[in-house]
Amino acid sequence: MRLGTVVGAHGLRGTLKVGTPEPQPEVFEAVGEVMVGPSRHRVLRAREGRRSVLLDVEGIGSRKEAEARRGQEVTADPERFPPLPPGEYYHFQLLGLVVELADTGEVLGELTDILVTPAHDVYVVRRGSREILLPAREEVVLEVDLAAGRMKVQPPPGLLDIYAD
């Protein structure tokens, strides 16, 4: 499962700066082992940066080595993630889901980003150049089916009219 992308180096000792929608260093530490591009590394330390996770891993010990990983995806085996309570999901699990209307099955687009706000997250759903912002609330998100790669939603009345062509 994708955790983020290496966006650069931090400091001189090989710390990777991993871009992620919501920095959750505890997830990186909990999985214990990640893939940085094609190579597997044991997690030594993870801490929160600015819209990123600062990640120290075994085998990358210099800024030059960390910079060489820029653009590479950071992933972990799905079975290594700590379980969440029912109805809760890691952001990386939701990104890429097809979002459809619960009542008609009409596809609204793909969940491409999650905006973290004080009240609740906001899902960014894109279809071509069209973008819809959906509140991530129980009354809007009716079903999440990770296995099928789908999310069924019922937007508040009038919300989709704002985005009509």
Q: Are residues 56 and 98 in the same domain?
A: no
- Whole-Å CA distances, 139 to 30, 64, 120: 31, 48, 12
Q: What is the pLDDT of residue 92?
A: 77
Q: Are residues 43 and 96 in the same domain?
A: no
Q: Are residues 36 and 102 in the same domain?
A: no
Split into its structural domains, the chain has a count of: 2
Burial class from Cβ neighbours inside 10 Å (0-12, 13-18, 19+) for residue 85 reads exposed
User: What tens digit of pLDDT does each residue of 4-61 get?
Assistant: 999 999 999 999 999 986 778 998 999 999 999 999 999 999 999 888 999 999 999 9
Q: Are residues 16 and 42 in the same domain?
A: yes
What is the end-to-end Cα distance of the chain in Å, rounded?
A: 35
Q: What is the pLDDT of residue 51?
A: 82
Split at pLDDT 50, 70, 90, the class of 165 is low
Q: Structural domain of residue 122, as residue ranges?
A: 91-162
User: What tens digit of pLDDT does each residue of 134-160 get?
Assistant: 999 999 999 999 999 999 999 999 998
Run of H or E including 126: strand 122-127
* Residue 85 in domain: no
The CATH number that applies at residue 143 is: 2.30.30.240
Q: What is the pLDDT of residue 164?
A: 73
Q: Pick the last residue of a domain from 25, 47, 79.
A: 79
Residue 125 near residue 146 (C-beta atoms within 8 A): no
Q: Are residues 102 and 68 in the same domain?
A: no
Q: Is the torsion defined by CA of 95, 113, 106, 154 positive or negative?
A: positive
The CATH number that applies at residue 25 is: 2.40.30.60
DSSP tag of 32? -
Q: Are residues 75 and 7 in the same domain?
A: yes
User: What tens digit of pLDDT does each residue of 76-130 get?
Assistant: 988 888 888 988 888 878 989 999 999 999 999 999 998 888 889 999 999 888 9
Q: Are residues 97 and 75 in the same domain?
A: no
* Separation CA 90–CA 81 (nearest Å): 9
pTM reported for the whole predicted model: 0.67
